[in-house]
């Protein structure tokens, strides 16, 4: 069959909302786009464990510690679901690991910001997981079956992440002046980076059109960002927070909040590797990978030896 016909049939399936499965024919570019997006998503989950992991020992109570450990463990799980989904497209786990460590593959820039106080852990749960949920819910209906199924699982688990974060902040908002100050400071640090999580604006996002046509994405970056601003501003009121944006105001006509211009120079700078923690994050992953090498190797040797013994017996 010629490629033209295959492509038409492929697009027909997409248009009818029939999911694409691993062994189905797909355009090379669809495969590549998905590998890039899913592996980047997986890397984000794995790197995302680092800013929160560093607070586990300092969580203010046993309850908070148990919750934070459960959340970080979930992030590891989410990374693994997504790596598996990407592997169905023909890339190996080791290749993805190599691309992450060499800097060839990106992960969400948000994790290159530091978590300076306990309030930052609350802000990460509320804003970072909140923005992630906004992105991920439509991905449950993405056109590639294994990705969609992984996202259903992720979304089910993600809701507690956001709620536990908000609960941390709610507690602080009812605390002392110093605690409320710490809350506002953390919010000021995370507000803008959270808005950047939705990626470049639509007129600067060259992949959006294709991804929409293939129904990998179902909403544009700017649509999702607007939705996030609209819901989050209301949630911030309950915490008594001031939004660090003098241009933020309700627009009656649009039925949405208007908000100020994002600092895109900062965005691209962090993407390019110059954020506050880029270097540290990758060094930490590299160290874990290197120090785990003997375990990976020993497990393989043990399994092979045991197999040989069973066959001999």
The residues that touch another protein, with contacts defined as CB under 8 A, are 21, 23-25, 70, 73-74, 77, 80-81, 84, 87, 92-94, 149-150, 153, 157, 293, 296-297, 299-303, 306-307
CA distance 54 to 62: 16
**Are residues 96 and 39 in contact, defined by beta-carbon separation less than 8 angstroms?**
yes
Nearer to another protein, 24 or 202 (CB): 24
**Are residues 182 and 172 in contact, defined by beta-carbon separation less than 8 angstroms?**
yes
CA distance 12 to 230: 35
Nearer to another protein, 145 or 244 (CB): 145
Nearer to another protein, 95 or 207 (CB): 95
Supply the minimum distance, in Å, between the C-beta of residue 296 and another protein.
Answer: 7
Q: What does DSSP assign to residue 199?
A: -
Supply the minimum distance, in Å, between the C-beta of residue 244 and another protein.
Answer: 36
Beta bridge partners of 108: none
Nearer to another protein, 14 or 196 (CB): 14
Query: Which residues, 6 or more positions from 59, have their beta carbon under 8 angstroms from its beta carbon?
Result: 65, 67, 68, 118, 121
Q: Which of 177, 171, 214, 299 is nearest to 37 (CA)?
A: 214
**Are residues 81 and 242 in contact, defined by beta-carbon separation less than 8 angstroms?**
no
Supply the minimum distance, in Å, between the C-beta of residue 213 and another protein.
Answer: 22
Nearer to another protein, 79 or 165 (CB): 79
Q: Is the dihedral of CA 268, 33, 280, 54 positive or negative?
A: positive
Supply the minimum distance, in Å, between the C-beta of residue 32 and another protein.
Answer: 20
Supply the minimum distance, in Å, between the C-beta of residue 307 and another protein.
Answer: 8
**Are residues 216 and 34 in contact, defined by beta-carbon separation less than 8 angstroms?**
yes
CA distance 250 to 237: 14
Supply the minimum distance, in Å, between the C-beta of residue 139 and another protein.
Answer: 16
Nearer to another protein, 25 or 250 (CB): 25
Supply the minimum distance, in Å, between the C-beta of residue 299 and another protein.
Answer: 4
Tell me the DSSP string of 127-174.
Answer: IIHHHHHHHHHHHTT-SBHHHHHHHHHHHHHHHHHHHHHHHHHHHHHT
Supply the minimum distance, in Å, between the C-beta of residue 66 and another protein.
Answer: 13
Nearer to another protein, 272 or 307 (CB): 307
Secondary structure class of 24 (helix, strand, coil): coil
Nearer to another protein, 74 or 223 (CB): 74
């Amino acid at each position: 069959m010629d490629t033209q016909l295959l492509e038409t049939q492929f697009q027909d399936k997409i248009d009818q909302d029939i999911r694409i499965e691993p062994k189905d024919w797909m355009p090379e570019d669809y495969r590549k786009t998905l590998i890039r997006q899913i592996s980047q998503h997986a890397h984000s989950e794995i790197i995302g464990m680092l800013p929160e992991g560093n607070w586990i020992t300092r969580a203010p109570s046993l309850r908070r510690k148990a919750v934070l450990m459960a959340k970080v463990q979930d992030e590891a799980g989410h990374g693994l679901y997504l790596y598996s989904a990407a592997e169905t497209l023909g890339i190996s786990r080791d290749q993805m690991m190599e691309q992450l460590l060499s800097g060839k593959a990106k992960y969400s820039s948000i994790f290159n910001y530091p978590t300076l106080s306990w309030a930052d852990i609350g802000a990460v749960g509320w804003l970072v997981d909140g923005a992630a949920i906004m992105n991920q819910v439509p991905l449950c209906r993405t056109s590639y079956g294994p990705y969609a199924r992984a996202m259903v699982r992720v979304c089910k688990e993600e809701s507690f992440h956001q709620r536990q974060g908000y609960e941390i902040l709610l507690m602080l908002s009812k605390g002392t002046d110093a605690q409320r100050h710490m809350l506002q400071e953390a919010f000021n640090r995370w507000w803008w980076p959270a808005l950047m999580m939705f990626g470049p604006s639509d007129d600067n996002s060259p992949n959006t059109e294709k991804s929409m046509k293939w129904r990998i994405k179902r909403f544009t970056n700017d649509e999702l960002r607007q939705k996030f601003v609209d819901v989050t501003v209301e949630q911030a009121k309950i915490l008594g927070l001031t939004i660090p944006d003098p241009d933020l105001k309700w627009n009656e006509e649009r039925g949405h909040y208007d908000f100020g211009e994002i600092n895109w120079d900062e965005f691209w700078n962090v993407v390019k590797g110059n954020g506050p923690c880029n270097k540290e994050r990758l060094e930490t992953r590299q160290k874990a990978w290197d120090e785990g090498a003997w375990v990976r190797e020993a497990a393989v040797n043990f399994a092979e030896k045991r197999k040989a013994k069973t066959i001999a017996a």
